[in-house]
Amino acid sequence: MKLKINASSLNGEISVPGDKSISHRSIMFGSLAKGTTTITHFLRADDCLDTLKIFKQMGVPIHDDGTTITIEGQGLTGLKDPQKTLDVGNSGTTIRLLMGILAGQSFDVTLTGDASIQKRPMNRVMLPLQEMGVAIEGDSETEFPPVVIKGNNKIQAIEYKLPVASAQVKSALLFAALFAKGETTLIEKEKTRNHTEVMIKQFGGEIEVDEKVIRLNGGQEFTGQQVVVPGDISSAAFFIVAGLIIPNSRVVLKNVGLSQTRTGIIDVVKSMGGQIEIVDVDEENESGTIIVESSELVATEISGDIIPRLIDELPIIALLATQAKGTTIIKDAEELRVKETDRIQAVADELSKLGAKIEPTEDGLIIHGGEKLHAGNVTSYGDHRIGMMLQVAALLVEEGDVVLDKSEAVSVSYPNFFEDLDSLMSEV
* Chain residues in the site for ligand S3P (CB under 6 A): 21, 93, 166-168, 171, 192-193, 311-312, 335
332 among the known binding-site residues?
no
The beta strand positions in 275-395, using DSSP E, are: 275-282, 287-293, 301-302, 327-330, 357-361, 364-368, 376-379
Q: Which is nearer to ligand S3P, 94 or 153 (CB)?
A: 94
CA distances from 151 to 81, 87, 88, 200 (A): 10, 18, 19, 23
Q: Is 65 designated active site?
A: no
215 among the known binding-site residues?
no
Q: Which is nearer to ligand S3P, 21 or 287 (CB)?
A: 21
Cβ 364 vs Cβ 310: under 8 Å: no
Q: Which is nearer to ligand S3P, 21 or 289 (CB)?
A: 21
82 cis-preceded (ω within 30 degrees of 0) = no
Supply the minimum distance, in Å, between the C-beta of residue 356 and ligand S3P. Answer: 23
**Which residues, in sequence order, are bridge partners of residue 70?**
38, 63
20 among the known binding-site residues?
yes
Supply the minimum distance, in Å, between the C-beta of residue 323 and ligand S3P. Answer: 24
Q: How far apart are CA 333 and CA 417, in angstroms?
A: 26
Q: How far apart are CA 194 and CA 128, in angstroms?
A: 19
Q: Which is nearer to ligand S3P, 14 or 311 (CB)?
A: 311
Q: Which is nearer to ligand S3P, 11 or 118 (CB)?
A: 118
25 among the known binding-site residues?
yes
Supply the minimum distance, in Å, between the C-beta of residue 256 and ligand S3P. Answer: 16
Residue 357: what residue type? K
372 among the known binding-site residues?
no
Supply the minimum distance, in Å, between the C-beta of residue 73 and ligand S3P. Answer: 21
**Which residues, in sequence order, are bridge partners of residue 116?**
none
Q: Residue 258, Cα to own-chain centre: how many angstroms?
A: 14
218 among the known binding-site residues?
no
According to DSSP, residue 219 is labeled S
Taking alpha carbons only, the member of 139, 147, 202, 204 closest to residue 172 is 147
120 among the known binding-site residues?
yes
Supply the minimum distance, in Å, between the C-beta of residue 376 and ligand S3P. Answer: 27
Q: How far apart are CA 239 and CA 420, in angstroms?
A: 9
Q: Which is nearer to ligand S3P, 168 or 328 (CB)?
A: 168
Q: How far apart are CA 419 and CA 415, in angstroms?
A: 9
Q: Exactly one of 87, 312, 383, 420 is catalytic; which is it?
A: 312
Q: State which residue has the least CB distance to ligand S3P.
A: 21
Supply the minimum distance, in Å, between the C-beta of residue 190 and ligand S3P. Answer: 10
Cβ 124 vs Cβ 164: under 8 Å: yes
Burial 340-378 (b: 16+ CB within 10 A, else e): bbbbbebbbbbbbbbbbebebeebbbbbbbebebebbeb
Binding residues for phosphoenolpyruvate: 20, 92, 120, 168, 343, 385
- Residues marked active site are found at 312
Residues annotated within a binding site for 3-phosphoshikimate: 20-21, 25, 166, 168, 312, 339
Known binding-site residues equal: 20-21, 25, 92, 120, 166, 168, 312, 339, 343, 385
